[in-house]
Each structure stands twice: as structure tokens, then as C-alpha cells.
Amino acid sequence: MKRMKAIVCYDGTNFAGYQSQPGMRTVQSEIDKVLVKLHKDPSIHSVASGRTDSGVHALGQVIHFDTPLDLADRWVTALNVLLPKDVRITKVEVVSDDFHARYGAKGKTYRYKWSYSEVQSPFERNFSVHLGRWNPDIDRMNAGAVHLIGTHDFTSFCSAKTATNNKVRTIRKLTLERQQDELILEIEGDGFLYNMVRTIAGVLLAVGIGWDEPEDVYKILQAKDRQKAGKTAPAHGLYLVEVTY
């Protein structure tokens, strides 16, 4: 029996999130159906670095699974032939038996994308959030973002549905910049709470368009109250970029 690590990318538009849910189309259920078919074993399943919500995309989700099969360098082809087109495996490798996609993760990088286009293309509508008439001040957004870098209690920036009691997380990098017709938020940290990145995106956008001041981000953080943080940004602008171990 060997443990395999795989890198997965997916378009989250038509999924009810990553994690398997009864009666729902999810990324995990599609992957596990393929693994069961390949192995002819209904008990086989994959383990991911974490879940993503409905509509959220991934460029570098990480999973592991155990297998008695020896497909050498044919794993990527074997899986992609059977997977739907909105899920692709980009890499598969043998790892040590103690590797764990979830518990071994040391950090994650997410990206959030807004579109400046006057008229957003219908081909981009599911992959970035249209700013419309808003032209946010990026310098103000970065000034607000500074307050979130470091180790903090992020109670104000996670959903009330968050299961874990420990809301302390470390953000190592948080930047915003314009790249052609898009505003890109890039954030890297040791882990993220439920809806944390999308809430941060919503708060910083509010600073950028003048609804809040950069120093208000610090006040929201210190309040430890989700009601102080305003609206959560839409799911379809969010991408899981990388998981580090």
C-alpha cells in the first residue's frame, strides 16, 4: 500500500463546495467516484488539505489517498480521463506513509480577484467579482491590510458557523495590487477560518471605496465581533492557490 499526494485544480462554479455532501455535487465526491472506479473498491477515499465553499476555485488543492495500485507516471492521465472537465489533477507523487494533506499543512495561499472592466465579459463572470462603478483606492486598502499581518484572534473575520474554538491565526503576507484589468488580493498564512479570506476581502474593499478608514480594520480586529466586519465578499472571486508542507 502506498500513499499518494495529488495536486488538484478546479472550477468551483458548478460545485456545492469541496467536501462530500449527501445528494450534492462536490469536488471530493467526483474524485472519490473515480478512485472507487479505478480500484474497484467502494471503501477508498481521498483526504484534502481543507474544504472550499460553493463557487470557490482552486489552483493548488492538495489531497492524499492510499492505494495498492502501481500506475507509475500514469496516475495523472488515469484520473483525468475519468474526471469531469471542471476538475483536473496536475501532479501525483508517492509520499511517506505519515504524510497527511490536512494535518501536515503548514501554510496556505489564497487569491481574491475583482474586475475593473466597464462591462464584464460573460466568460469571466464566474471567476472575478465585478467592481462596476467602484474604483477602490489600493493604497488605502494596503494601509488597512497592514493591521491584519501577524498573529491575531480573527473572530471578527470568520463566520459564526466556524466550528473551531481557537480563532488565532497568523497571516504572513497580505498585498493588494492592480494587474491589468484586475485588482488582486494575495494572502498567505498558517491557516484560515471559515469565510475568513472572503470577510477580509469585503472589509478591505469597504476601506478602498471610502466606507471605512484604514485604521477601522484594527478596530474591527480588536472587537472580536463578526457583526463589525460587514459583508462577506462573493465566493466566485476566491482561489486556493497553494498549500505548503
Active-site pick, 11, 32, 41, 53: 53
144 is written with which cell numbers?
488597512
CA distance 39 to 41: 5
How much is the CA Rg of the chain, to the nearest whole Å? 19
Q: Is 53 labeled as catalytic in the residue annotation?
A: yes
Query: Which residues are the active-site residues?
Result: 53
